[in-house]
Amino acid sequence: MDSGYKIEWTSVVPVVSAATTQSSSTAGCEGCGEFNATSGCITSQDWPQNYPNNIDCSITIHASPNHTIRLAIVELSLEYSVSCQYDYLEIRDGDAEDSLVDTYCGHVSPHQLISSTQDVYITFHSDVSWSASGYKLEWTSVPIDTGCGVCGSFNATSGCVISEDWPQNYPNDIDCTITIHTSANHTILLDIVELNVEHSSTCQYDYLEIRDGGSDDSTLFDTYCGDVTPHQLSSTTQDIYIKFHSDVSWSAPGYRIEWTSVPVVTDQ
């Protein structure tokens, strides 16, 4: 006869380290409070798990003097209601009493906001029922440009140009041409530091056009729209021609472009 089997068991409480309870994507992110760092991130309580019910959280972000704040809404999913009266995220340009940028609820697509002041004030509220994964926000302090040109002709050996109202959204329905000219036996190193304009598959609505030469029929480097990765272009001539166009609807922060004159190296 077979001996059969004997099984024993014991109930064990699982041990979970603090490090494993936080997603790597939230490591280093803040919750509620005041923050003075030049960049950082904020998440709702327990993100990316659902936030608790019946909480209020206030957040203030301070930038240095002569700086504004670029706030990226990376993820935002809250209880939805038509007037956002239940759970909501409220963002203000300044302190708690200043201009309301918007009140969000439901599922919101990722996008960016630029403050006009050196402060952003955020309030999150959840009611007593239902919840969602919440939000993740990132911010960066942005210097205010006082020495950059906008449209026109520039002959300096170095400089910068920005879209109108940068880093705020540029106006609708504008055309701006820029010509950069350098000395004889020099070319131009153009640095696209930031470029974010309305996206379309063929760039037919808002676009930035850059040409290797001094006129609108010079060789085309490229036509840009959408959110473009920073990069550099080198001219083969002593001139660069830039055209920016926006249509009658939708806008974005625009662009900041820097240039430096580079001497042509010739063989002796």
- What is the per-residue pLDDT across 217-266, written as a single tens digit (0 to 9) for each? 999 999 999 999 889 999 999 999 999 999 988 889 899 999 999 999 87
pTM for the full predicted model: 0.56
- Tokens read off for 64: 């240095």
The pLDDT of residue 28 is 83
Contacts of 83-88 spanning 24+ positions with Cβ under 8 A: 86/126, 86/127, 86/130, 87/125, 87/126, 87/127, 87/130, 87/131, 87/132, 88/124, 88/125
- State the pairing for strand pair 239-246/174-181: antiparallel
- Tokens read off for 51: 């936030």
CA dist., res. 87 & res. 243, Å (int) = 44
Domains 26-143 and 152-263 agree in fold:
yes
Cα distances from 235 to residues 26, 28, 238, in angstroms, run 42, 42, 7
SS (H, E, C) 170-204: CCCCEEEEEEEECCCCEEEEEEEEEEEECCCCCCC
Residue 24 has pLDDT above 60, yes or no: no
Name the nearest CA neighbour of 219 among 204, 231, 209.
209
**Residue 72, class by beta-carbon neighbours within 10 Å (0-12 exposed, 13-18 middle, 19+ buried)?**
middle
Query: How many CB atoms are closer than 10 A to CB 215?
Result: 10
- For residue 19, the SS3 value is helix
Name the nearest CA neighbour of 259 among 244, 239, 251.
239
* Residue predicted with more confidence, 13 or 231: 231
pLDDT in tens, 190-215: 999 999 999 999 999 999 999 999 99
Q: What is the mean pLDDT of the segment spanning 96-124?
A: 88
CATH number of 152-263: 2.60.120.290
- Eight-state DSSP code of residue 149: B
* Residue predicted with more confidence, 177 or 98: 177
- For residue 164, the SS3 value is coil
CA dist., res. 236 & res. 211, Å (int) = 10
Banded pLDDT at 4 (limits 50, 70, 90): low
- For residue 142, the SS3 value is strand
Query: For 46-50, 92-96, 100-104, which range has the lowest pLDDT when averaged over its residues?
Result: 92-96
The pLDDT of residue 1 is 53
The pLDDT of residue 23 is 39
Name the nearest CA neighbour of 52 among 71, 33, 78, 82.
78
The pLDDT of residue 65 is 83
* Residue predicted with more confidence, 266 or 172: 172
Residue 118 makes CB contacts below 8 A (sequence gap 6+) with: 62, 63, 64, 65, 66, 67, 68, 69
Handedness of CA 156, 149, 198, 101 (dihedral sign): positive
Q: Tell me, which fold does domain 26-143 have in CATH?
A: Jelly Rolls (2.60.120)
Break the chain into its structural domains and give their ranges: 26-143, 152-263
Cα Rg, the chain, nearest whole Å: 26
Mean pLDDT, the chain, integer: 87
